[in-house]
Chains A and B, each alone.
Chain A
Amino acid sequence: MKILVVVVAIGSGWLAAMAATESLQAQQSRPWIAMLQSDAPLFERAQACRRLAVVGGDEAVPALAALLSDPALSHYAREALEAIPHPAAGEALCGALRTLEGSLLVGVVNSLGMRREPDAAGALAPLVTEADSQVATAALLALGRIGGPEAIRVLQHALGGGRDDLRDPAAEGCLLVAARHLADGRRDDATGLYDAVRGAPVAAQLRATATRGAIVARGAAGRTLLVEQLHATEISMRDAALASIRELPDPPVTAILVAELETAEPDLQALLIPALADRESGQVLAAIEAKARAPSEEVRVAAVQALGRIGRNSSLPLLLQATRAPSNRETAAAFASLARINAPDTQAEILQILPATAPALRARLIAVIGERNARGAGAALLELAQNPDTETSKASLRALAAAARPDDLPELIRMAVAMPDEERKTLAARAIATTAMRVPEVGRRVDAVLSQLRQATNENARISLLLPLGAIVRSIGGSAEALPVITSMLTDNSERVRDAALRTLADWPSAAPGMTLLEVATRRDATPVQREIGLRGATRMAANVAAGRDRTPLDALAVFKTVNGIVRSQAEKLMLVSGLASLERIEAVQMLQTYLDDPTVHTEAALAVVKIAPALLASEQGGAVRQLLERIAASEKDEDTRRKAAQAAKKTGQIRAAK
Chain B
Amino acid sequence: MNSKNRAAPLATRRAFLKTAVSAVGVTLAPLVVPARVLGRDGGVAPSNRVVLGGIGIGNRGRQVLEVMMAEKDVQFVATCDVQARLRQSVKAMVDETYANKDCATYRDMRELLSRPDIDAVIIAAGDRWQALGPILAAKAGKDVYGEKPCGLSIGECQALSDVIRSTGRVFQAGTQRRNVPNYQFAVHLAHSGKLGRLHTLHGGILKLGRLHEWLPAEPEPMKNEVDWDLFLGPAGWRPYNAAYVAGRKWKNYHGFISGANLLEHGAHSIDICQWANQADNTAPIEYEPEGGAIHARYANGVKLEFRPAGWIGQRGQTSGDGEYGSTGTCPIRFEGDEGWVETGGYGAIELHPASLRNEWQSFTMRGTDPSLHTREFLDCVKSRRLPAANHNVMRHSHIACHAASIAWQLGRKVDFDPVKEEFVGDDEANRMRSRALRQPWHV
Contacts A438-B358, A438-B360 supplied; 15 other A-B pairs, CB < 8 Å: A46-B238, A55-B428, A78-B439, A107-B436, A107-B438, A107-B439, A179-B166, A203-B141, A243-B384, A275-B385, A278-B385, A278-B386, A402-B361, A437-B360, A440-B355
B26 contacts partner chain A, Cβ-Cβ < 8 Å: no
Q: Are B383 and A271 in contact (CB under 8 A)?
A: yes
Q: How large is the interface on B (under 10, 10 to 19, 20 to 34, 35 or more residues)?
A: 35 or more
Residues of A near B140 (CB, < 8 A) are 205
- What A residues does B428 contact at CB under 8 A? 54-55
B437 at the interface (CB under 8 A from A): yes
Residue in A closest to B348 when the chains form the complex, CB atoms: A475
B168 touches A43 (CB 8 A): no
| Residue B249 interfacial (CB < 8 Å) | no
Do the beta carbons of B439 and A103 come within 8 Å of each other? yes
B31 lies within 8 A of chain A by Cβ: no
User: Which residues of the partner chain B approach A110 to less than 8 Å between Cβ atoms?
Assistant: 436-437, 439-442
Assuming the contacts A54-B428, A114-B434, A402-B361, asked whether A75 and B439 have C-beta atoms less than 8 A apart, the reply is yes
Closest 5 CB pairs of A and B: A107-B439, A243-B168, A440-B354, A205-B141, A79-B436
Q: Establish whether residues B213 and A43, one from each chain, have CB atoms under 8 Å apart when the complex forms.
A: yes
- Report chain A residues within 8 Å CB of B431: 53-54, 83-85
Q: Which residues of B have CB within 8 Å of A212?
A: 166-168
| Residues of chain B contacted by A434 (CB below 8 angstroms) | 361-362
Whole-angstrom CA separation of A270 from B385 in the bound complex: 11
For residue B213, which residues in chain A have a CB less than 8 angstroms away from its CB? 43
Report the separation of the CA atoms of residues A189 and B361 in the bound assembly, to the nearest whole angstrom. Answer: 55
Q: Does A244 sit at the interface, judged by CB under 8 A? A: yes
Asked if A643 CB lies within 8 Å of chain B CBs, one says no
Within 8 A of A (CB), among B387-443: 427-428, 431-432, 434-442
A window 43-94: CB within 8 A of B: 43, 46-47, 53-55, 71-76, 78-79, 82-85
Interface-side segment among A157-165, A234-242, A283-291, A412-420: A234-242
User: Is B101 on the interface with A (CB-CB < 8 A)?
Assistant: no
B162 x A46 contact (CB < 8 A): no
Query: Complex: how many Å from CA A113 to CA B439?
Result: 13
Whether A438 contacts B139 by the Cβ 8 Å rule is no
Max chain A Cβ within 10 angstroms of own Cβ: one of B140, B168, B237: B168
Contacts of B436 in A (CB 8 A): 75, 78-79, 82, 107, 110-111, 114
Most buried by B among A43, A243, A275, A434: A243
Interface of B is mostly: loop
Given A78-B436, A110-B439, A205-B358 contact (CB < 8 Å)? no
B357 within 8 A of A: yes
What is the bound-complex CA distance between A74 and B359, given in angstroms?
Answer: 58
A340-393 CB contacts (< 8 Å) to partner B: 373, 375
Residue interface bits B149-173, CB-to-A below 8 A is 1, else 0: 0000000000000100111110000
Per DSSP, chain A at the interface is: helix
A residues 237-276 in Cβ contact with B at 8 Å? 239-240, 242-244, 246, 270-271, 274-275
Chain A hits for B358, CB < 8 A:
375, 405-406, 438
27 A-B pairs, CB-CB below 8 angstroms?
Answer: A43-B213, A54-B428, A75-B236, A75-B437, A79-B236, A83-B434, A103-B439, A107-B438, A107-B440, A138-B442, A179-B166, A203-B141, A205-B139, A205-B140, A208-B167, A212-B166, A235-B14, A271-B383, A373-B359, A373-B361, A402-B361, A406-B358, A438-B357, A438-B359, A439-B357, A440-B354, A440-B355
Give the chain B neighbours of A580 by CB distance below 8 A: none
A209 CB contact (under 8 Å) in B167, B237, B385, B432 = B167
Residues A458-487 near B (CB distance < 8 A) = none
Contacts of B141 in A (CB 8 A): 203-205, 208, 236
CB distance from B116 to the nearest CB of A (A): 9
CB–CB A79/B435 < 8 A: yes
For residue B47, give the distance in angstroms from its CB to the closest CB of chain A.
Answer: 8
Interface residue from B360, B384, B440 paired with A274 (Cβ < 8 Å): B384
- Whole-angstrom distance between the alpha carbons of A208 and B14 in the complex? 16
Q: In angstroms, how far is the closest chain B Cβ from the Cβ of A76?
A: 6
Taking CB atoms, residues of chain B closer than 8 Å to A43 are 213-214, 238
* A-side interface residues, number (CB < 8 Å): 67
Residue of A at shortest CB range from B406? A54
Which residues of B line the A interface, CB within 8 A?
14, 17, 21, 24, 138-141, 162, 165-169, 212-214, 236-238, 353-355, 357-362, 383-386, 427-428, 431-432, 434-442
Chain A residues whose C-beta falls within 8 Å of the C-beta of B440 in the assembled complex: 103, 106-107, 110, 134, 138
Contact B354 A275 (CB under 8 A): no
**Given A43-B214, A75-B237, residue A209 in contact with residue B438 (CB < 8 A):** no
Query: Shortest Cβ distance from A17 into chain B, in angstroms?
Result: 12
Q: How far is the CA of A647 from the CA of B213 in the complex (A)?
A: 29
Alpha-carbon gap, A274 to B386, bound state (A)? 10
| A residues less than 8 Å from B383 (CB atoms) | 270-271, 274, 302
Known: A208-B167, A401-B362, A405-B358. A82 touches B139 (CB 8 A): no
Q: Which of B14, B236, B434 contacts A76 (CB 8 A)?
A: B236
- Decide: B354 and A242 in contact? CB cutoff 8 A: no
Point out the residue from B166, B168, B357, B362 that lies within 8 Å of A440, measured CB to CB.
B357
> Which of B168, B384, B427 is the one whose CB lies under 8 Å from A271?
B384
Is the CB–CB distance between B360 and A275 below 8 Å? no
- A373-B361, A437-B362 known; A141-B442 Cβ under 8 A: yes
Considering only residues 173-209 of chain A, those with a C-beta below 8 Å from chain B are: 175, 179, 203-206, 208-209
Q: Is A72's CB under 8 angstroms from B237's CB?
A: yes
What's the nearest-Cβ distance from chain B to residue A236, in Å? 6
How distant is the Cα of A233 from the Cα of B17 in the complex, in angstroms?
9
**B24 neighbours in A (Cβ, 8 Å):** 233
* B183 CB, nearest partner CB in chain A, Å: 15
Closest to B185 in A: A373
In the bound complex, CA of A236 to CA of B119 (Å): 11
Supposing A85-B427, A208-B168 touch, asked if A246 and B386 sit within 8 A by C-beta, the answer is yes
Measured between alpha carbons, how far is A106 from B438 in the docked complex, in Å?
A: 10
Interface presence of A441 (CB below 8 A): yes
Taking CB atoms, residues of chain B closer than 8 Å to A75 are: 236-237, 436-439
- A213 close to chain B: CB less than 8 A: yes
Q: Give the one of B141, B166, B384, B436 with max A CB within 10 A.
A: B436
Q: Which residues of A contact B359 (CB under 8 A)?
A: 373, 438
Instruction: Give the docked Cα–Cα distance between A439 and B358 (Å).
Output: 7
Task: Answer whether residue A155 sits at the interface, using C-beta atoms and an 8 A cutoff.
Answer: no
A373–B194 Cα gap in the complex (Å)?
15
Q: Give every chain A residue within 8 A of B438 (Cβ-Cβ).
A: 75, 107
| A427 contacts partner chain B, Cβ-Cβ < 8 Å | no
A84 to B140, CA, bound (A): 33
A233 and B442: CB pair below 8 A? Answer: no
Which of B139, B162, B212 counts the most chain A CB atoms within 10 A? B139
The interface residues of chain B lying within 8 Å CB-to-CB of A205 are 138-141, 167
Q: Which residue of A lies closest to B13 (CB)?
A: A235
B362 contacts across to A, CB distance below 8 A: 401, 434, 437
